[in-house]
C-alpha cells in the first residue's frame, strides 16, 4: 500500500460518485477469510455505517461474527461481543434502520446497535432483545424475520416467525423493538398468532407497506402478507418451494420474486406465485432506487422482473465497472489511533459471491450508490488468509 494525500471529503463521501466508480473507502479492521461477510452493510438515517461480519468456512457454513459502526463524521466502534455462538448465533440479516440505530437478527435473538452509545475505548454498546419468551421464559428461536419496520410515534414494530423450546408449532409475532436500556423502552411482544397445519417459515421480505412471509408444509405453501395490525393478504403458491436465499423481493408494481435454495425462482404477484426455472443461474434479489425488482447473477448480470414475469438477462455494466475500479486501486482512509491517513489499496471483493452480487441484496448508501466491503492484498498466516477490510460506496445504476 502507498500513502496518498488525505482528501478533503470525509471518509465515505459519495458526492459526485459516478456509476461504476468507487468512492473513498473507510478501513474497518483486519478480518479472517477470503470472504469475511455475507450480509451487506447498512446505513442509518444519519449516515452511520454498520458492518456485520461472518466468515465462510471451508464447508461453506457462515460463522458468527462481529458488528462495527462507522460514525458519519469519522471514527469506528466495535460491538462488545460477537453476534452469538454456533450456527444459531450467525447474523442472518438486518431488520432495518432508523435515525441512529439498526437491528440485526440471529436465530437466537434480536440485537439492537445504537450509533450514539459508544465509549472512549471505541466499544459499541449492544442490546440483546427477545432471546426468551417474556411470559413463559422459554428460549425463542427466530425462524424468519422480515426486513421491515413499522414506525409509529411511540414504537418501532417488526414481525417474525418464532418457535420455542416448549412449543415447536410456529407463531407469527409482532414485536416492539425497543430503544436503549430504560424499562419503558424494553423490547416486547405485542401480539402472537399460532400457525397451524404443520407450516414452517421458508423466508421473508419487505412488501413496502407490509412484511411478506413464505410458509409451507409437505403439501402446501402460501405467501402471507402481514403488517403490525395483522394479516392483510395471502397469495397462492403453485409448486413446492424450498427455502428462500436472501429476501423475498416485492417491486413497486406488486411483482414478487425470490431465489430458492435449489436455484429455482418463486415468481408472480401478491395474489399468486409459482416456482419456475430462471433463464440463467441467479443468486438473489435486489431493488433499485426506483423500487424496480431484479435478480442478480455472477457475471455480473441482472434479470429484470416486472409484471409477474422474468425478462431477458442483461449485463450489469456499472457493477462490472465498479469491480474493475476496485481492482485498479481504491483510496481508503485509515482512522486508527484517532488519526486519518489515506492509503491506496489494490483491492478485491470480500463480500458475498462477487462485487454487488450476493444472496442478500446490496443496500443503498445514497441515491445511486451502494455500500460494499473490499479487502487489500491478503496475508497468509499459518494457512489462514487475513485482509484489511474497508467499507466502500460504489456508484451503481441499473439497465
pLDDT at 44 over 90: yes
In this predicted structure, what is the pLDDT of residue 2? 35
pLDDT band at 131 (very low <50, low <70, confident <90, very high): confident
Task: Give the mean pLDDT of 56-73.
Answer: 88
Taking only the tens place, the pLDDT of each residue in 183-216 is 445 678 899 999 999 999 999 999 999 999 999 9
Taking only the tens place, the pLDDT of each residue in 320-340 is 999 999 999 999 999 887 778
In this predicted structure, what is the pLDDT of residue 88? 93
pLDDT at 135 over 80: no
As a whole-number percent, the residues of the chain with pLDDT over 90 amount to 74
Mean pLDDT taken over the chain:
90
- Rounded to 10 degrees, what is the CA torsion of 100, 105, 109, 110? 20
pLDDT band at 57 (very low <50, low <70, confident <90, very high): confident
- Which has the higher per-residue pLDDT, 12 or 47? 47
Taking only the tens place, the pLDDT of each residue in 371-394 is 999 999 989 888 888 999 999 999
Taking only the tens place, the pLDDT of each residue in 147-189 is 999 998 888 999 999 998 888 799 999 999 876 554 445 678 8
Strand partners, 195: none
In this predicted structure, what is the pLDDT of residue 180? 56
CB neighbours (10 Å) of residue 230? 11
pLDDT at 77 over 70: yes
pLDDT at 16 over 70: no
- Which has the higher per-residue pLDDT, 249 or 73? 249
As a whole-number percent, the residues of the chain with pLDDT over 70 amount to 94
Write down all domains in the chain, each with its CATH number in brackets. Answer: 2-395 (2.130.10)
pLDDT at 5 over 50: no
Taking only the tens place, the pLDDT of each residue in 256-304 is 999 999 999 999 999 999 999 999 999 999 999 999 999 999 999 999 9
In this predicted structure, what is the pLDDT of residue 188? 84
CA R_g for the chain? 21
Amino acid at each position: 500500500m502507498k500513502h496518498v494525500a488525505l482528501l478533503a471529503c470525509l471518509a465515505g463521501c459519495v458526492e459526485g460518485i459516478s456509476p461504476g466508480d468507487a468512492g473513498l473507502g473507510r478501513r474497518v479492521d483486519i478480518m479472517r477469510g477470503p470472504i469475511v461477510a455475507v450480509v451487506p452493510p447498512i446505513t442509518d438515517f444519519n449516515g452511520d455505517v454498520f458492518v456485520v461480519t461472518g466468515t465462510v468456512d471451508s464447508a461453506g457454513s457462515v460463522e458468527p461474527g462481529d458488528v462495527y459502526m462507522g460514525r458519519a463524521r469519522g471514527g469506528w466502534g466495535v460491538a462488545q461481543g460477537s453476534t452469538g455462538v454456533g450456527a444459531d448465533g450467525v447474523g442472518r440479516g438486518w431488520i432495518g434502520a432508523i435515525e441512529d440505530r439498526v437491528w440485526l437478527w440471529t436465530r437466537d435473538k434480536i440485537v439492537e446497535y445504537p450509533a450514539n452509545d459508544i465509549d472512549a475505548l471505541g466499544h459499541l454498546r449492544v442490546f440483546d432483545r427477545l432471546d426468551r419468551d417474556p411470559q413463559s421464559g422459554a428460549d425463542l428461536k427466530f425462524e424468519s424475520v422480515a426486513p421491515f419496520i413499522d414506525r409509529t410515534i411511540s414504537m418501532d414494530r417488526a414481525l417474525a416467525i418464532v418457535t420455542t423450546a416448549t412449543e415447536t408449532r410456529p407463531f407469527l409475532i409482532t414485536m416492539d423493538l425497543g430503544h436503549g436500556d430504560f424499562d419503558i423502552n424494553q423490547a416486547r411482544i405485542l401480539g402472537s398468532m399460532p400457525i397451524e397445519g404443520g407450516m414452517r417459515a421458508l423466508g421473508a421480505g419487505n412488501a413496502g407497506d407490509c412484511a411478506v412471509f413464505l410458509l409451507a408444509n409437505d403439501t402446501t405453501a402460501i405467501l402471507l402478507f402481514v403488517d403490525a395490525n395483522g394479516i392483510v393478504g395471502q397469495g397462492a403458491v403453485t409448486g413446492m418451494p424450498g427455502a428462500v436465499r436472501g429476501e423475498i423481493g416485492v417491486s413497486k408494481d406488486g411483482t414478487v420474486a425470490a431465489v430458492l435454495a435449489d436455484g429455482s425462482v418463486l415468481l408472480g404477484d401478491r395474489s399468486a406465485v409459482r416456482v419456475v426455472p430462471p433463464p440463467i443461474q441467479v443468486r438473489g434479489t435486489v431493488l433499485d432506487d426506483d423500487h424496480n425488482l431484479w435478480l442478480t447473477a455472477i457475471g455480473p448480470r441482472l434479470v429484470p422482473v416486472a409484471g409477474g414475469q422474468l425478462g431477458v438477462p442483461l449485463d450489469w455494466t456499472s457493477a462490472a465497472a465498479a469491480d474493475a475500479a476496485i481492482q485498479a486501486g481504491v483510496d481508503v482512509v485509515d482512522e486508527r489511533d484517532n488519526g486519518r491517513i489515506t492509503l491506496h489499496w489494490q483491492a478485491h471483493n470480500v463480500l458475498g459471491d462477487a462485487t454487488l452480487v450476493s444472496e442478500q441484496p446490496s443496500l443503498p448508501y445514497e441515491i445511486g450508490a451502494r455500500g460494499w466491503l473490499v479487502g487489500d492484498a491478503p496475508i497468509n498466516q499459518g494457512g489462514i488468509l487475513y485482509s484489511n477490510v474497508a467499507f466502500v460506496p460504489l456508484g451503481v445504476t441499473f439497465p
